Amino acid sequence: MRVEIVEVGPRDGLQNEAVTVPTGVKVEFVRRLAAAGARRIEVTSFVRPDRVPQLADAEEVLAGVADLDVAVSALVFNERGLRRARAAAVAEVNLVLVATDSFSMRNQGAPVAAAVASSRRLAGQAHDAGLRVTLTVGAAWGCPFEGEVDPAQVLRIVEGVPDVDEVCVADTIGAGTPGRITSLLGAVRGVTDRPLRCHFHNTRNSGYANAYAAITAGAVALDASSGGIGGCPFAPRATGNIATEDLAWALGRDGYETGLSLPGLLDAAALVERTLGRQVPAQLGRTDPFPPGAGASSLGGTR
Amino acid sequence: MRVEIVEVGPRDGLQNEAVTVPTGVKVEFVRRLAAAGARRIEVTSFVRPDRVPQLADAEEVLAGVADLDVAVSALVFNERGLRRARAAAVAEVNLVLVATDSFSMRNQGAPVAAAVASSRRLAGQAHDAGLRVTLTVGAAWGCPFEGEVDPAQVLRIVEGVPDVDEVCVADTIGAGTPGRITSLLGAVRGVTDRPLRCHFHNTRNSGYANAYAAITAGAVALDASSGGIGGCPFAPRATGNIATEDLAWALGRDGYETGLSLPGLLDAAALVERTLGRQVPAQLGRTDPFPPGAGASSLGGTR
């Protein structure tokens, strides 16, 4: 069985880092990920540079990877962002909403209902422009400001932006657990027939268990970040995404096809680790690969 | 549904630590775990003090916790260990075998077949003495010396020591993944009718997903260590057990009953972290509890 891993390290991974990563390193990061077999990469976000300075070079990074045979996506929050995405010729725009009003005011500057209406318009405009459109519902399993999230809030957003090519349900702060993943995805399945993707953070060590629960519940794609880096500038103490290499290792051992090469992923993570100057949360890069040799060419090379 | 978490921090957690933990701190650690609701605690191991100096004070620690209303267990490898266990009045002895000859030579000083014969005798003697006896099969999903482990090697050990009260299947080096947990436990179920327990290390970030897979496959108990500390002195680069507090948090959110209190577990882990002088692998102690307040009394107190 195939599971598609969407690489979000360049965007969700880097956006919250204090170290300003040079544009050239970002380009090299994306190129290594592509070389490792990644075919969908969330490269950047069209946000205001003063709000997320780390991603101010969105256009430059995209230009640097334009020759790759990869489906490149970027986050878009408004019409200005959509214009930038079209000009940069990305293949896919990701419209991100969050499940609660408190978080939505901080993340989008508008309450949920207004953000839904805006995203519905954006989805139509993006489709008219020939772009693939995905919808992410963030804070679906818990909000850093309001605590527990009623599943009905998630369903209202999914129903409110129906004209999308894929729905991603995101556990922005790592509050989800496998039983809750199963039940919410079942409910989401009841209100949309779009392919389901999931996005997990490993804040409380439940991220990988959640990923398996999501696959079992019918998700066909999972976000992950190289090295397990990541966070959210507007969600206090959100920690890293689940790590691409650790997820790909586990899925591979269980017979799932991801199309990813472990040595290649370790090469990409080594670049991130060196650039950030700290140990990344992923475990595979700092232990023996298993079975011996699975990641050897990388471990013996760049690390 | 109830899931029993067996606390192994005082033994598996501490035995590989370079810091020699004072006996009084070990006693306080066990007492905090009991106060947090732990009802089965693997306190120590009756091994040669020159091989595992950290556990040389087995009798003193056990004497210090003898008044607790807790089922205390200890590892036993030979008749001398069994005599020490009887003298110390532990309720349960844990006989540990490992699945491969290479590892068995290092861990028990004998190949698997000889270790099985020895354990069978020990199990009989322990039962005759009125002790509860559990059998752990280590390196069941991978060996640090031989790599992949044939499930038949695990089954032979389980069948070779039939007279036990519980069988624990252990992923000593964190090589297991959920699909492999499910299939091996199914095979083990075919050769024993004893209750099944599992023991996972989070070496490659699959430990918590494995725990959920084990429960789904019929395991009724899971080992975990406070703070996620742990390793194995004879298994290179084995890293920590899954953390009791992170596991209990996830299971609790999914409606499983563990009988454990998160604030109490965080108090115990805080003691370990302070004693070891380094950040422990568990995540719950360094993020916000979720929902807010779930671990508040501890976080506001000792940390």
Q: What pLDDT digit, counting tens, does each position of B25-62 carry?
A: 999 999 999 999 999 999 999 999 998 899 999 999 99
Give the mutation candidate from A172, A206, A239 for the B interface (greatest B CB count, under 10 A). A206
| Per-residue pLDDT at A175 exceeds 50 | yes
User: What is the DSSP secondary-structure string of B25-59?
Assistant: HHHHHHHHHHHTT--EEEEEEE--TTT-GGGTTHH
- With contacts defined as CB-CB under 8 Å, which chain A residues touch B142? 290-291
Placement of tokens 């993944």 in the chain: B177
Q: Tell which residue, A241, A242, A248, has the closest CA to residue A266.
A: A248
Run of H or E residues at B6: strand B4-7
The residue-averaged pLDDT of A51-64 equals 95
DSSP-based three-state secondary structure for B280: coil
CB contact under 8 A, A254 and B177: yes
Identify the pLDDT of residue A289. Answer: 74
Q: Are A138 and A98 in contact (CB under 8 A)?
A: yes
Number of alpha helices (DSSP H) and beta strands (DSSP E) in chain B: 11, 8
Burial of A190 (0-12, 13-18, 19+ CB in 10 A): exposed
- With contacts defined as CB-CB under 8 Å, which chain B residues touch A283? 202-205, 239
Rounded distance between C-alpha atoms, residue B76 and residue B30, angstroms: 19
Give the mutation candidate from A251, A290, A299 for the B interface (greatest B CB count, under 10 A). A290
Identify the pLDDT of residue A231. Answer: 63
- Encode pLDDT of A95-145 as tens digits: 999 999 999 999 889 999 999 999 999 999 999 999 999 999 999 999 999
Q: Are B261 and B44 in contact (CB under 8 A)?
A: no
| Per-residue pLDDT at B296 exceeds 70 | no
Identify the pLDDT of residue B231. Answer: 64
> In terms of CA atoms, which chain B residue is nearest residue A284?
B204
- With contacts defined as CB-CB under 8 Å, which chain A residues touch B208? 205-206, 208-209
Rounded distance between C-alpha atoms, residue B188 and residue B135, angstroms: 13
The residue-averaged pLDDT of A261-283 equals 94
Identify the pLDDT of residue B278. Answer: 85
How far B89 CA lies from chain A's nearest CA (Å)?
36
Structure tokens at A186: 């079942």
Rounded distance between C-alpha atoms, residue B204 and residue A295, angstroms: 13
CB contact under 8 A, A246 and B282: no
CB contact under 8 A, A208 and B211: no
How far B83 CA lies from chain A's nearest CA (Å)?
38
- With contacts defined as CB-CB under 8 Å, which chain B residues touch A290? 142, 147, 173-175, 204
Q: Tell which residue, A66, A8, A52, has the closest CA to residue A33.
A: A8
Greatest alpha-carbon span in chain B? 53
- With contacts defined as CB-CB under 8 Å, which chain A residues touch B204? 246, 249-250, 283-284, 287, 290
CB contact under 8 A, A204 and B284: yes
CB contact under 8 A, B206 and A204: no
How far A217 CA lies from chain B's nearest CA (Å)?
14
Rounded distance between C-alpha atoms, residue B222 and residue B91, angstroms: 18
Rounded distance between C-alpha atoms, residue B33 and residue B17, angstroms: 19
Run of H or E residues at B130: none
Find all residues with CB under 8 Å of A83, minimum gap 6, and list them. Answer: none
User: What is the DSSP secondary-structure string of B183-241?
Assistant: HHHHHHHTT--S-EEEEEB-TTS-HHHHHHHHHHTT--EEEEBGGG----TTSTT--PB
CB contact under 8 A, A283 and B178: no
Identify the pLDDT of residue B238. Answer: 53
Phi then psi dihedrals of residue B48, to 5 deg:
-70, 130
Structure tokens at A247: 């997820």
Identify the pLDDT of residue A287. Answer: 86
- Encode pLDDT of A41-52 as tens digits: 999 999 999 988
Q: Tell which residue, A57, A6, A60, A13, has the closest CA to residue A275.
A: A13
CA distances to A50, A75, B44 from A79, rounded to whole Å, are: 18, 12, 63
Range of weakest confidence among B82-86, B276-280, B288-292: B288-292
Give the mutation candidate from A3, A254, A265, A266 for the B interface (greatest B CB count, under 10 A). A254
- How crowded is the C-beta side of B163, counted as CA atoms within 13 Å? 13
CB contact under 8 A, A180 and B253: yes
Beta bridge partners of B198: B169, B222
CB contact under 8 A, B209 and A204: no
Q: For chain B, give the mean pLDDT.
A: 93
Structure tokens at A191: 């209100």
Residue B268 CA from chain centroid, whole number: 16
| Per-residue pLDDT at A233 exceeds 70 | no
User: What is the DSSP secondary-structure string of chain A?
Assistant: -B-EEEE-IIIIITTT-SS---HHHHHHHHHHHHHTT--EEEEEEE--TTT-GGGTTHHHHHHHTTTSSSEEEEEE-SHHHHHHHHHHT-SEEEEEEESSHHHHHHHHSS-HHHHHHHHHHHHHHHHHTT-EEEEEEESTT-BTTTBS--HHHHHHHHHHS---SEEEEEETTS---HHHHHHHHHHHHTT--S-EEEEEB-TTS-HHHHHHHHHHTT--EEEEBGGG----TTSTT--PBPBHHHHHHHHHHTT-B----HHHHHHHHHHHHHHHTS--S-SGGGS--SSTTTTHHHHTTT-
Give the whole-number percent of chain B exceeding pLDDT 70: 94
CB contact under 8 A, A246 and B180: no
How far B91 CA lies from chain A's nearest CA (Å)?
32
- With contacts defined as CB-CB under 8 Å, which chain A residues touch B177? 249-251, 253-254
- Reply yes or no: is the peptide bond before residue A291 cis, omega within 30 of 0: yes
Q: Are A13 and A52 in contact (CB under 8 A)?
A: no
- Encode pLDDT of B49-98 as tens digits: 998 899 999 999 999 999 999 999 999 999 999 999 999 999 999 999 99
- With contacts defined as CB-CB under 8 Å, which chain A residues touch B205? 202, 208, 228, 242-243, 246, 250, 282-284
Q: Are B55 and B47 in contact (CB under 8 A)?
A: yes
Domain A4-299: which CATH number of 3.40.50.720, 3.40.50.10480, 3.30.390.50, 3.20.20.70: 3.20.20.70
Rounded distance between C-alpha atoms, residue B188 and residue B166, angstroms: 12
CB contact under 8 A, B290 and A173: yes
- With contacts defined as CB-CB under 8 Å, which chain A residues touch B292? 147
Catalytic residues of A: 232
How far A71 CA lies from chain B's nearest CA (Å)?
28
Residue B175 CA from chain centroid, whole number: 16
Structure tokens at B90: 């532990």
Looking at the partner chain, which of A178, A212, A291 has a beta carbon nearest the beta carbon of B254? A178
CA angle, residues A7, A10, A16, in degrees to nearest 5: 120
Residue A303 banded pLDDT, cuts 50, 70, 90: very low
- With contacts defined as CB-CB under 8 Å, which chain B residues touch A206? 208, 246, 250
Identify the pLDDT of residue A294. Answer: 73
Q: For chain A, give the mean pLDDT.
A: 93
Residues of chain A in Cβ contact (below 8 Å) with chain B? 142, 144, 147-148, 173-175, 177-180, 202-206, 208-209, 211-213, 228, 236-237, 239, 242-243, 246, 249-251, 253-255, 282-284, 287-288, 290-292
CB contact under 8 A, A287 and B174: yes
Q: Tell which residue, B45, B39, B43, has the closest CA to residue B71.
A: B39
| Per-residue pLDDT at B138 exceeds 90 | yes
Looking at the partner chain, which of A177, A204, A288 has a beta carbon nearest the beta carbon of B283? A204
